[in-house]
Every structure is written in structure tokens, then in C-alpha cells.
Amino acid sequence: MSDKSFHPPPRLLMGPGPSNVPQRVLDAGARPTIGHLDPAFMEFMDEVKDLLRWVFRTSNDLTMPVSGPGTAGMEACFANLLEPGDTALICRNGVFGQRMVEMVERIGAHAIVVDDEWGRAVDPQKVEDALAANPATKLLAFVHAETSTGAQSDGETLAALARAHGCLSLMDCVTSLGGIPVEIDAWGVDAAYSGTQKCLSAPPGLSPVTLSEAAVTRIRERRTPVQSWFMDFRLVMNYWGSEGRRSYHHTAPVNALYGLHESLLLLREEGLEAAWQRHATLSRVLRGRLEAIGLEYLVPVEERLPQLNTLRIPAAVDDAAGRLSLLQDHGIEIGAGLGPLAGLVWRIGLMGDSCRQSSVDRCADALSAVLKLPAEATA
Amino acid sequence: MSDKSFHPPPRLLMGPGPSNVPQRVLDAGARPTIGHLDPAFMEFMDEVKDLLRWVFRTSNDLTMPVSGPGTAGMEACFANLLEPGDTALICRNGVFGQRMVEMVERIGAHAIVVDDEWGRAVDPQKVEDALAANPATKLLAFVHAETSTGAQSDGETLAALARAHGCLSLMDCVTSLGGIPVEIDAWGVDAAYSGTQKCLSAPPGLSPVTLSEAAVTRIRERRTPVQSWFMDFRLVMNYWGSEGRRSYHHTAPVNALYGLHESLLLLREEGLEAAWQRHATLSRVLRGRLEAIGLEYLVPVEERLPQLNTLRIPAAVDDAAGRLSLLQDHGIEIGAGLGPLAGLVWRIGLMGDSCRQSSVDRCADALSAVLKLPAEATA
């Protein structure tokens, strides 16, 4: 057993997350731990909630970080919004849509799946048809920014369809929040969850969520308890809520919350629109560089996420060897393909603090070198 | 909305957790984030698992940190080890036993409860009688160190009773691990979970768990899926496991794991037995000081936890005002009573890095001052 402290190797993180975390955020997370019921921490929690409302563009009272990674926030939303026997319509155009289906089924609810090709946006027409055909649908769930493919779906249109058909909407914005417009209130999204390690550039481990009044009412009117005590928002809100005194539910991840708070301050200093613009602009610069070295995008241009660029791996290049060379020879992490895209694509993130001109240059230069390696070196 | 970075006030943490986190652990958590699938991180994960096996005193293959607080680890153990309709015997002598009952029932399993007075150890005779009367029991669950009362139960005897009656044992060692002997293999405990923010002195947010071969077999032979996708150990083990390649399940809380790793290194440098001795010795010193100022313990001396000292609040002293004075005038956090003990007791932690002679002195001096305040100042 090693008795040495761990010193991570230097990495430029250009995969599908985590992105590089600014020193200020790392330093904030290293401030002294205080108690999760300390009056000073209670005030701090209010600031975190205000900052999350700001970044989600919402006035939702129930806006808070779930004490677990994005996957925990995702499951907490389904577990609270659905009861056994309920019907949910799930848009599946990548890994995370499939994950939604699995979570819905484990809850004992019924999932109706609207499939779209991996690498394409969700087709609103198909969703409208499915909602019309299934009037008992209680929840429409979709992934705003599919991290497994780099496709962006139209959150505003999908949320409007849900409303028109009398059901709630749940939007996965793990990879979108902070990188492209996410407008919870303007779009009328009922529930959304995100992660900290993508365009917010905080360490992974927390999942900001926000729920509309209608979603909260749905939860209040449940006939059955949420299967998970840890994820039950009615209980969690006794701690995070604004009504009355804060009572203990679980011990909040104090230092991780320090980091999230600081990352949101950094985003406020830059401005949310400015951050969206930075992601849009630098993804165009990256595109020019990558197309110049012959790489092709998986996703049609009008459905592409600026913060996650999915490129087809040239036939002459070995997937794993290419990524290993990028990592070991150039210190750059990019992402592999998942599921049916494994071995076929690379996912290049331009998220949060990793979205810099210098990252674009280093990544394009390194890819250029890796693609020029003789076949035997990468095979 | 405040645009200022958060600087926590200086606190000596002598509540029921979190305890003070050493600077080395905070610094480790602030090292640069790397990818959760980086080969360097995979090696690091193996070190974390080895260190956890060391501190749990086990050779269990399935030993890993759950990516959430102790409550998530607790629920993950129940959710994986029980199926709907199963019977579990729960020992309830405080808040966390009650929490176990609620989790078991939400899973759709049946909880048989063995009650003991809050502030007392679990009575093995009652447990044996209940096991004999309920031969269908699949799991015996108990809290080794009841954080809500300061009572210590006999993990070795209870695990042996479970084994003798052909059922698995699940031990909550959130507050015991690192502070008093926890012997997973020697006692034959089948499953255990802990937290990082008590006697390990890392920030809150992770829950180390360990499962025996018998517990893993139980999970492998389930007829129904675990209700939570996030907590499903069979899926989590695709990422944390030792069999074959590590595949993505959720994004691990990279920086929190750096902190846990460093906290375990610190414990190794001290020695586990030396740490147990430190907690035992200083709790005796604290006891001398507290009894000298007239405070009385809730728990009989032979059932007391050294790391959590529960004292009756003198009749003349106001609970909330007394704790507020300790916090604001002396910078010391202690814990309030929970449930039926609210308003009646204070919980004084001597955990991990907070367990120092200097803490004992500061706390006893401050308590002495607070108890001498004129009644009108604390009422």
C-alpha cells in the first residue's frame, strides 16, 4: 500500500467533464470545514440558492444542490416526480436518455420512449405525436445537451409541448448550464438538474436542481412515499428550505459547497451571456482548426453543442492509442465514444474554464500531431 | 445577492461531526481536478480502496466510498441487501436506528424493531430473542456508535448473533470508524458503512462501505433490480471494481476523494490503535473536567463512546442560548439533542483531529464560563 500523498498529473481537461477547475474554486473548497448547522453556514446556503436561481434563470423557491453527482440529482428528480404506475415520456437520443428510462422503470413507473438517432436533436414532432397518443403521461423528460453525442435539443419547444399536453417537464441540463442558454422560467421548465463539473467548472460531486411550483405541488400530493429517504425532496427541504428553521437531514458536503459557491461567483463576474458567447465563439474557432486537419463532426451543425464537439475518428487512427497519446504525450484528456459510438467518435469538451483560446490551440496542435503518427504507432 | 467569496468563521468543531479537518487534508482536496477515467486516477482509486480496507480491518473486495454522505451509504446498503417483502431486524436506540426503519419500509421490506432506551446500548438478549422468533429475518442492522445519544453497542456480539441465526449483519459505523475498534473481518460483519467527517477528519460528502462475500452473493442473487440506479452496487462496481476495465457509471467526486485519501494517510501515520487510544485517553480527561463543573453524562459509563460525550443540560441553563454563547463567544460548536433528547442534552464530540488536549481544555473552560452565566443571560 502506498503511503504517499496523491499528486495528480497536469492535465488539460477537454473531455465531456470534468473541466479544469480554476485555482480560486479549488482554494475556496479548501477553506476550513464548519458545521452544516452553523448559523454562518445557513446564511451561506441562502447565497448558494440565490446564485443557483441566478444561473438557472428562475425564481423557483425549491432550488438547491443535491448532495451527490449529476446522476443522483437526475434520479432524485424522477424519484420525487413519479409514483409507481405513473407514465413518463422519455426522449432518448443518447446514453442519458437511456439512463432516464432505466431509472423510471426501477421506480415502478412506465416509460414511453421516443427515440432519435444518436447524434441528432430530439424531434419535437415525434414528441408531440407521442404526447397526443398517451394522454395519461405525467412527465416529459429530455436531455438538453446530450453529453454522449454532443447534440443540443430545443428545451423551450419541448417544455411548451409538455405544458400544452398537461404534463410536467424535466430537463437534464448537466452539460448545458453555463455553456448555452438555459432559461428555466422563460421556457416554463418544471424541473431541471445539472452538475458542477461541466460548464460551471467546480469539482464533480454536487447536482444543482430546481423545481417549479407545479412540480412541488406534484410532490406534495404524492400518495406514496419517495422510495429513497436520502433523495426525498420533502425531507431535504427541511434542511435546505426557506420555511422556518433548518433541521438536520444529512450532513451537507460543506467544502464541495464552498467550491460551487465560488464557481458561481466567477461566472457572475464574467456574466452569463458573456460565458455563453465565449463557448459559442471558441467552438467556431475549434471547428475551423479541426476541419482544417480533416476531422468531421458527428452532429449536424445546427444541432451541435458548442461545449461538446463530437468528431468521427479517422479510419486510419486507433481510438484508444490516439487518446492515450493525447493524454501521455500532450497532457490532454478528451472523451471516448459511449455505447454504439464507442470506437467511432472522440468527444472534445470546451467547457467552463477549459474553454479558452489556449485550450483550442493546444488541442488542435496535439490532435494534428496524433493524426500524423504513422499507422503502426497508433494501431 | 452577495458577490463576496465565503470565508468561514474560525470554529473548533466539537459537535457530532463534522470534526475539524487538518490543513493537509484540505490542501489535498484542492489539488487540480483530473478525469474520473484517467489512468492515473484509476491507480489512485486502488489506493483509496486499499486504505479503506486497512481502516475497516477487512480484506473485502467490495470496499469503496459511495459518492454521497453517510446517509447515502446507509440507504445504498439497505437498497442493495434487501428486496421488497424481505424481513429485516432493526435495532433502534436513537435517531439512526429510526432512520434505518424508515429506509427499510420505503424499500417495501418489512422491519421488525428491537427497541432500546435512547442513551443505552443495544441489548443483545433482546436481539437474540427477536431473531429466534423471526426465522425469516434476512438482515440484522444496528448502529455501532449512535451519534444521537453517544451510546456504543457491541458489534462483535451482534454480528455473531446474526451469523448464528443465518442472516446477514449490517453495521453503521459512521461515528465509530477511526475512533474506536471496528473489526469487520474479525467480528464477521457482512456490511458496513461510514462517513468521512467524524473520526476520519475529512470533509463530509463520502460514505465508505464494505461488503463481505456473503453480502455480495446476496446482491448477485437478487430477483429484483435495486430501486435506485445511482445506488446499485452491481453498476457502481463496474467503475470501482477490480474485475476488468473500469467503465463509467457516474462522475466520481474527484477532489473529495483526494481529501479522503490524505485523511487515511494521516491515520496510518499515527497508527489506528494509537488513534483509538488517543480518543479513549482524552475522553477520560474531558470527563474529569466536565464532572468537575457538575455536568452529568446521559450514557452509563460502560456503554459510552469516547468520541461522543452526551451531557445533561443543567436545569438552570437554556439549551439554545448556551450553545450560541459557546459558538459566538468561544468559537466552539457542540451538538444539540435530537428527537426526544432535544433540549435535554448537549453532544460534545472528540473526533479525529478535534480530539486534542487543547480542544478538551478550550471546551471545558468555555462550558465552565457558559454555565456560570447569570440565568437571565442564557434564558
Per-residue pLDDT at A141 exceeds 50: yes
Per-residue pLDDT at B376 exceeds 60: no
ipTM of the complex: 0.97
Facing B33 at nearest CB: one of A20, A30, A102: A20
pLDDT, average across residues A150-179: 98
Per-residue pLDDT at B332 exceeds 90: yes
Residue for cell digits 475529512?
Answer: B202
Least confident of A141-145, A191-195, B86-90, B371-375: B371-375
pLDDT, average across residues A296-319: 97
CB contact under 8 A, B11 and A5: no
A256 touches chain B (CB under 8 A): yes
pLDDT, average across residues B231-250: 85
DSSP-derived 3-state class of residue A334 = coil
Chain A residues touching residue B320 (CB < 8 angstroms): none
- Best mutation target, B193, B250, B338, to test chain A (most A CBs within 10 A): B250
Per-residue pLDDT at A245 exceeds 70: no
A297 touches chain B (CB under 8 A): no
DSSP-derived 3-state class of residue A121 = coil
**Where residue B2 falls among pLDDT bands split at 50, 70, 90?**
confident
- Best mutation target, A229, A258, A272, to test chain B (most B CBs within 10 A): A229
Facing B8 at nearest CB: one of A2, A17, A31: A31
CB contact under 8 A, A6 and B28: yes
What pLDDT is recorded for position B247?
Answer: 85
Nearest CA in chain A to B38: A333
Pairing of strands B137-143, A110-115: unpaired
**Where residue B241 falls among pLDDT bands split at 50, 70, 90?**
confident
In CATH terms, the fold of domain B12-16+271-378 is Aspartate Aminotransferase, domain 1 (3.90.1150)
**Where residue B243 falls among pLDDT bands split at 50, 70, 90?**
low
Chain A residues touching residue B74 (CB < 8 angstroms): 230
Contacts of A124 (CB under 8 A, 6+ apart): A154, A157, A158, A161
Per-residue pLDDT at A374 exceeds 70: no
Reported as a single tens digit per residue, the pLDDT across B82-137 is 999 999 999 999 999 999 999 999 999 999 999 999 999 999 999 999 999 999 99
CB contact under 8 A, B70 and A31: no
Per-residue pLDDT at A243 exceeds 80: no
In CATH terms, the fold of domain B23-268 is Aspartate Aminotransferase; domain 2 (3.40.640)
CA B349, distance to chain mean position in Å, is 12
Chain A residues touching residue B248 (CB < 8 angstroms): 338
Interface of B with A in 313-352 (CB under 8 A): 327, 333, 338
CB contact under 8 A, B261 and A39: no
Tell me the C-alpha distance between A149 and A135, whole Å.
30
Reported as a single tens digit per residue, the pLDDT across A306-317 is 999 999 999 999
Which stretches within chain A are classed as H helix? 23-29, 39-56, 70-81, 95-107, 124-133, 155-164, 184-187, 213-220, 233-240, 254-270, 272-292, 319-330, 357-372, 375-378
Reported as a single tens digit per residue, the pLDDT across A113-134 is 999 999 999 999 999 999 999 9
Nearest CA in chain B to A51: B1
Domain ranges of chain B: 12-16+271-378, 23-268
CB contacts < 8 Å between A and B, how many?
266
**Where residue A373 falls among pLDDT bands split at 50, 70, 90?**
low
Q: What would the grid cell of residue B79 be?
A: 437498497
B197 touches chain A (CB under 8 A): yes
Nearest CA in chain A to B248: A338
Per-residue pLDDT at A376 exceeds 80: no
Domain A12-16+272-378 -> CATH class: alpha beta
What pLDDT is recorded for position B372?
Answer: 85
Per-residue pLDDT at A300 exceeds 80: yes
